[in-house]
């Protein structure tokens, strides 16, 4: 890719970390302290989607900014929305500058760096687009905004409502998850609906988890395999937004309900909500990756992560790939890297364990 001439791909759907079914539950609560922030968050999310679609139709694609003629290095900028909804906000920290007084800005800056480091060191990828794309983030978006999202060009973080959700910059895997939507945008560009949308969400969970493990220097066996473990307040009966190891067990709360994620195709959820259940059915490929990584042992971002990365960037995936298509593509990548031995057998078994058909 030539960063001087290539243009941005089409804007993807706006991808938020909090599943809409959680916000819907909160919005229907009898407690206005819980319901009001959730309703505002849902309204802002809908408005952002509308604005982005209008901009995408009205604005031609622009050339990417040129990459400096130097070794790959992050180019980070963090902005403060000051609890308003205008983006990007006021710039508060740029690449190479020291910490500022705002802890949220510092956490966002560090997590952008952790994401850049994992992709470069493990996979030789220079930023989200592979060509040194600047990494921008905005903190303190909106008032009690209970979400974080990738909008096609930047990370945006709310402060949470303080009742159910805490500051969204607290979870490095959430930041890695959202930035990986950008990687998918520039590679397989998986359609954000049905099984391809669930794969889009799952790939982000996989690399979000790997970024956290890389930062903590954890092995697959030592990792918690939780997504967003830092986000819930103490009043919530739950460990995280999702569990890759045990989908369906992340939370069981009087207000939020029970985690609906399945871990096997027998329990696949057929729904028209959430773009066809993209945040729900992603538990199935999530569990397949976790089982694959733990069976192989060692550092999950190495052999297991390399298979997923090679699959995502291979060019072999259709944008509307389903779980079986993705499983077949991962097996092809594993065979190319490792032959028919231990790695490929472990991968085939992992997909079998979650009920996704494999051949060969």
Q: Which residues of 143-153 are buried (b: 16+ CB within 10 A; e: fewer)?
A: ebbbbbbbbbb
Angle at 219 between CA 214 and CA 220, to 5 degrees: 105
Q: What is 298-358 written as a DSSP string?
A: S-TTTHHHHHHHHHHHSS---TT--HHHHHHHHHHHHHHHHTTSHHHHHHHHHHHHTT---
178 is a catalytic site residue? yes
CA–CA distance, 327 with 265 (Å, rounded to integer): 13
Q: How many CB atoms lie within 10 A of CB 161?
A: 21
CA–CA distance, 59 with 10 (Å, rounded to integer): 11
CA–CA distance, 10 with 208 (Å, rounded to integer): 23
Token duo for residue 281 = 């059915």
CA–CA distance, 300 with 122 (Å, rounded to integer): 11
Q: Which entry of 140, 163, 178, 191 is annotated as an active-site residue?
A: 178
Name 222's Cβ contacts closer than 8 Å, sequence gap at least 6: none
Token duo for residue 182 = 């950008």
Nearest to 254 by CA among 42, 34, 44: 34
Q: Which entry of 140, 177, 181, 279 is annotated as an active-site residue?
A: 279
CA–CA distance, 17 with 148 (Å, rounded to integer): 6
3-state secondary structure of 221: coil
Q: Which residues are catalytic?
A: 178, 279
């Amino acid at each position: 890719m030539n960063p001087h001439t290539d243009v941005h791909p089409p804007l993807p759907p706006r991808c938020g970390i909090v599943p809409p079914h959680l916000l819907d539950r909160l919005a229907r609560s009898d407690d206005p302290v819980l319901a009001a922030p959730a309703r505002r968050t849902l309204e802002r999310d809908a408005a952002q989607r509308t604005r982005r679609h209008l901009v995408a139709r009205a604005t031609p694609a622009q050339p990417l900014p040129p990459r400096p003629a130097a070794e790959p290095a992050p180019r980070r900028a963090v902005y403060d929305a000051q609890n308003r909804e205008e983006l990007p906000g006021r710039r508060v920290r740029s690449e190479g500058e020291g910490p500022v007084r705002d802890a949220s800005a510092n956490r966002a800056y560090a997590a952008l760096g952790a994401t850049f480091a994992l992709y470069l060191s493990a996979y030789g990828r220079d930023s989200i687009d592979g060509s040194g794309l600047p990494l921008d983030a905005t903190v303190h978006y909106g008032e009690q905004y209970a979400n974080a999202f990738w909008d096609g060009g930047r990370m945006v973080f709310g402060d949470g409502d303080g009742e159910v959700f805490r500051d969204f910059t607290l979870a490095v895997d959430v930041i890695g998850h959202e930035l990986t939507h950008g990687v998918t945008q520039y590679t397989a560009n998986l359609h954000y609906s049905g099984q391809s949308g669930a794969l889009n969400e799952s790939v982000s969970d996989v690399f979000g988890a790997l970024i956290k493990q890389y930062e903590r220097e954890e092995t697959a066996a030592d990792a918690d395999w939780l997504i967003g473990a830092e986000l819930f307040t103490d009043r919530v009966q739950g460990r995280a937004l999702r569990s890759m190891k045990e989908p369906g067990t992340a939370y069981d709360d009087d207000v939020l309900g029970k985690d609906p994620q399945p871990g096997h195709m027998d329990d696949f959820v057929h729904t028209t909500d959430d773009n066809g259940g993209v945040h729900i059915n992603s538990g199935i490929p999530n569990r397949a990756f976790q089982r694959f990584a733990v069976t192989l042992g060692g550092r999950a971002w190495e052999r297991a992560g390399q298979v997923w990365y090679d699959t995502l960037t291979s060019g072999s995936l259709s944008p509307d790939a389903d779980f079986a298509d993705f499983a077949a593509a991962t097996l092809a990548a594993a065979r190319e890297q490792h032959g028919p031995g231990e790695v490929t057998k472990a991968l085939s078994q992992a997909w079998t364990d979650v009920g996704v058909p494999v051949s060969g």
